[in-house]
Amino acid sequence: MKKGSFTLYDGKLRFSVVCVLVGFVFLSVCLRLAYLQLLRGEELGKMAERQVELRQRGNTPRGRIVDRNGAELASSIMAKTLTANPYRIHEAAGKGMDVVKAAGLLAPVLGMRPEKLYDILTDKEMYFRYVKRSLEPKEYQAAAKIIAENKFAGFNFIEESKRYYVKKNVAAQVLGFVGDDDIGRYGIELELDSILRGARTFGSQRVDAEGRPIVPGQVQGKEEIPLATVHLTLDSKMQYILEDAMDDALVRTHAVGAAAIIMDPYTGEILGMVSRPTFDPNEYWRYPQNSWLNKTISMVYEPGSVFKPIVGCAGLSEGIVTPDTVFQDDGSIRIADRVIHNWDNEGKGPVPFSEVIKFSINTGMVQLGMQLKAKRLIDYSKRFGFGRPTGIDLPGEESGILYDPDEMYDPDVATMAIGQGIAITPLQALRAISAIANGGELLQPYIIKKVTAPNGEVIKEGKKKVVRSVITPQVAAQMRDMMEKVVSEGGGKTAAIKGYRIAGKTGTAEKLAEEGGYAAGKYIASFVGFVPADKPVYAMIVILDTPKGAFYGSQVSAPIFRDTLQQILVAKGIQPQDGSALPSLAELSGKNKSGPRKEEARPLPRLQLLPDGRVQLPDCTGIDLRYAAELLQQGQLRLKPYGHGRAYKQQPAAGSIVQAGSTVEIWFR
């Protein structure tokens, strides 16, 4: 056969080669498919799913915080947050999307500057940026409409927990607040963050090639986990009265700050706790950071004469004095190189110890302190809880400052006996005086009454805890009698309430300067006491920081103590001990306030409680968030608020009949 011609043999060979090649390709494809399906099938399936699904992470709402009677103080709802994928937006811009237009349209409805929003959207190295968190309903609706109508790519809405403090600044420092990350930052929110914080949740949403949701708002697999409720020992009614009293005091005295606490002296429960200046935790970022601090546990100051009952108890316990022991009062006394004067520079001559307490005589207290000496003074101070935190279930508590007895000189002993040279917190002072009130038991104060699971099970419960017995009931009774005379006959007459036996002690101390020493002309005015004197129900302390004009505790703090406790006694129906008729709260408000509260000018709508336990809803239009919460609590209903300001819409509608425990949604603007 000639060279180069086609033969049958050549055809068979070529056919065989082609078959081998085809077989090899087919086998390769099968092996590749087997590899992809069997070995990487699950992985690739997830990758494919991710291309058409947008996974979202969020939180469930935080647990509620309520007062001792179930009145809601803090609650959460789920709010929309707008996010952006700048990398995807950069890709979309290359295909014709106008980023400048997107920023210009969205910025006004989000309350942002267009330049700032544009910078966020053009941060093309990033795959995720928050645009604005916790949108108000009207912001979300407007932004969603703009994004949908203009087919802007790279935007997404996720749900996050938004915290509402329904009574605004009431107990603000006690409650604290949460940051944008839903983590508690101060107060109870920080102390119980692990209990209150919402659980992490995940959901998915179908999207197109540009990352836009195919069905906006439809998230699959999302769950909400009910969380625990924290019940505080606070009484909202008492808290309101105390807050109003301290606000009024700041206006009248022009003080730079204030602190006040009401406590049950027999259990250690905190019934009211106020710190000034204050803030609205709904908008905490608008206030200076010093307003976030709880002065009742973080303010460290020299107690002044409020400390004298503690020194007196030490003298009585050690048998150095009795109420009738006589001291010589010459108006001043020299200890080494220091001369200590009475507050009025007057001397009363020979006086019994009961008069020393009643009239707050410095010379008599110095003589007692010198007999006690340094070690016993410090020992009794520690026994009464000074120099260390009280252990209250709140973050940020200070320890105070005590001398080292081995380093004390006679002048240090003398000044400590009149409440100078040491530093304490308001809560430490009230706890120590409460030990005198209850017969000698030093208690650990607490503000968390209990924590309950969604099913009502008690997870954690606050209980009375006796730290130690500090004095005998006999010594406590002797000091109570002397402190009662402070109010009925001595320097604390301005704290007297007609018909009630009040025991207390005034205090006026020079204010410590930041650079050391004392600040000229600046004082801390205080009053601490309890009622009734023989078997106390309430113990209370009032402190004013740097009042202008009058600055003695008897002039500025004692009247606040009187007016506040009188309203509380009336509100709680605690009858006067001499049979006098109780005045009404309206009469007291008119007497004690310079004008009516704004909220009292408009009466609340009224719920109608039906015989079968259901509730007929009123028209809530026009009322604010605090009133709405108070109103619904009367019918054991839960409030789910949207926005701020005055109510303009509600669901269910006015007149609807609902079961107790139902949720009522109200929109505010």
Each residue's pLDDT tens digit, 270-290:
999 999 999 999 999 999 999
| Residue 443: band (very low, low, confident or very high) from pLDDT cuts 50, 70, 90 | very high
CATH 3.40.710.10 residue spans of the chain: 236-592
Each residue's pLDDT tens digit, 153-169:
889 888 887 888 988 89
pLDDT at 419: 94
494 pLDDT higher than 80: yes
CATH 3.90.1310.10 residue spans of the chain: 55-224
DSSP state of 306: G
DSSP state of 401: B
pLDDT at 598: 39
CA distance 367 to 364: 5
579 pLDDT higher than 80: no
β pairing state of 657-658 and 615-616: antiparallel
pLDDT above 90: percentage of residues in the chain: 51
* Burial class of residue 562, CB neighbours in 10 A (0-12, 13-18, 19+): buried
* Burial class of residue 28, CB neighbours in 10 A (0-12, 13-18, 19+): exposed
pLDDT at 473: 97
Q: How far is CA 268 from CA 106, 373, 386, in A?
A: 53, 31, 16
CATH 3.30.10.20 residue spans of the chain: 602-668
Each residue's pLDDT tens digit, 60-80:
778 899 999 999 999 887 788
Number of Cβ within a 10 Å radius of residue 444 = 17
Measured in whole angstroms, the distance separating CA 149 from the mean position of its chain's CA atoms is 43
30 pLDDT higher than 90: no
pTM to 2 decimal places: 0.77
pLDDT at 218: 47
The CATH class of 236-592 is alpha beta
The CATH class of 55-224 is alpha beta
Each residue's pLDDT tens digit, 314-345:
999 999 999 999 999 999 999 998 999 998 88
Q: How far is CA 220 from CA 128, 154, 203, 225, 264, in A?
A: 21, 20, 5, 16, 50
The CATH class of 602-668 is alpha beta
| Residue 4: band (very low, low, confident or very high) from pLDDT cuts 50, 70, 90 | low
Q: Determine which of 128-142, 502-516, 619-633 has the lowest per-residue pLDDT on average.
A: 619-633
386 pLDDT higher than 80: yes
| Residue 219: band (very low, low, confident or very high) from pLDDT cuts 50, 70, 90 | very low
CA distance 606 to 620: 9
